[in-house]
Amino acid sequence: MSKYLFNILLLLFLIIQVSSFSQGTWERIDSPSLKNLNSVYFTDSLTGWAVGDSGIIIHTIDGGDNWIIQNSQTDNDIVYVFFLNSNLGWASSFNYSTVPYGTILLKTTNGGEDWVSEQYPTENIFINSILFLDSLNGWMGGSPHAIVSTSDGGVNWSQADVDTSTLAFFPVLSIEFYNEQYGYASGGIFDIAGVTWRTNNGGEKWYAIDVSDAPADEVHGLYIFDSLNVTGAGGDPDFGYGVGIISTLDGGYNWDYDEIGIQGNAFDIDFVNESEAWAPLGPQRKFIYSIDTGSTWVDISTPDSTAIFDVIFTDSLHGFAVGDNGAILKYTPSIPVGVGSNLNFLSGVILHQNYPNPTKGSTIISFEINDGKLLNMPAQIKIFNMCGRLVRQLNLEKTSWGENQLTFDGVTFPNGIYYYQLNIGKSVFSAKRMVLMQ
């Protein structure tokens, strides 16, 4: 076999390998508690909170490397947490032990150093989801039915005007807004009906899904791409049904529901980027993921076979998930499809690690040529972001024997992980990772 043919076959093999493992991975990180964690929220890649059973609230300011336990002032199970910024946050806890039964709402204005609790004014309403658009205007969803809003930071809450269709007054499990005008909610009752709601007038009126479009089981989570395109996840763990994905392309007027052939029930859904999505299956101790915007899904076991119920991505590089027995998972992104591998395709070329790395701005990318056939040829260093999108190309008019250098100035680029790939003539060589930290 000729050297040229061998290199082509090796290139094809590596491309197939990279394509086969193009989704990210998860690892379990240390947790300060063994209590079940029900909800997680991060305001950025470093600052986050998780809440759970028996009043547990934990907080990190270093991307999950270290967590501290905060004093929630309650022993009730806390089911949901939301933060508008690093200081202002809310959480909901369920009171089943003392009259009046219902929801205890928690609020902090200093990042959780102090939490103040207040009884939700309506008895026997259990708030499952909280969302604030700013410090005054917010929405919540609950069971047995509630779509409520506030315009004074949560001092007072008002029931929204919801249509009177058959499915309108089912439990609400999730509520999300794309902007001040367009909002969606989801919920339902297991083995009876799954429901979505939509508003296009800032919540003045909400409309439930048409009965003909409704699935048989509750819809747990929603992801809004834009005002028209929304995807949700749910399902039925009973044999023969399994995970279901619901989606709309027309702003919620019509919905499609697909059972994807994987056993379980998806308790949440979030997207890493425009194509990669993840959903936890809770007691099935699995994730499902998609790398084609939800067209196809694959299931994968969670680390340590842990039951995971909530997931969040702050950007294409950082994600977290939580579940039973204090489980906290951290996401590690993959090398994007098409960027290449960490191997050299030809022995006559060596691509070096950029220096300095990490870099706060300018960094040198160098490579060595030890093959006369590659001399005096045009070369490019192509730089990709974590989505696999080309963001910069550095050009060298002619290669020379030995070391060749190009300088990349990343001052105007966002912090994060990038990949750079070497091209000489029509040949594609290896790729390496570069970290920008301004």
The DSSP 8-state label assigned to residue 10 in this structure reads H
User: How many angstroms separate the CA atoms of 105 and 118, rounded?
Assistant: 5
The answer, as to whether pTM is greater than 0.85, is no
| 210: Cα separation from own chain's centroid | 29
Sheet holding 362-369, edge to edge: 349-351, 362-369, 402-409
Q: Which tokens is 364 given?
A: 């040198």
Contacts 24+ apart (CB under 8 A), 154-162: 154/90, 154/105, 154/107, 157/120, 157/121, 160/203, 160/205, 160/206, 161/204, 161/205, 161/206, 162/197, 162/205, 162/206, 162/207, 162/208
User: How many angstroms separate the CA atoms of 75 and 418, rounded?
Assistant: 44
User: How many angstroms separate the CA atoms of 228 and 208, rounded?
Assistant: 15
Residues 228/242, Cβ–Cβ less than 8 Å: no
Q: Which residue has the tokens 């590089």?
A: 317
* Residue 437 CB neighbour total at 10 angstroms: 11
Domains of the chain: 24-332 (2.130.10.10), 342-436 (2.60.40.1930)
Each residue's pLDDT, cut to its tens digit, for the chain (438 residues) gives 444 444 444 334 434 344 334 678 999 999 999 999 999 999 998 999 999 999 999 999 999 999 999 999 999 999 999 999 999 999 999 999 999 999 999 999 999 999 999 999 999 999 999 999 999 999 999 999 999 999 999 999 999 999 999 899 999 999 999 999 999 999 999 999 999 999 999 999 999 999 999 999 999 999 999 999 999 999 998 766 899 999 999 999 999 999 999 999 999 999 998 889 999 999 999 999 998 889 899 999 999 999 999 999 998 888 999 999 999 999 988 755 445 443 344 457 888 888 888 888 899 999 988 877 888 899 999 998 876 778 999 999 999 988 899 999 988 898 888 888 888 887 777 678 888 886
Residues 182/200, Cβ–Cβ less than 8 Å: yes
| 77: Cα separation from own chain's centroid | 24
User: How many angstroms separate the CA atoms of 46 and 42, rounded?
Assistant: 7
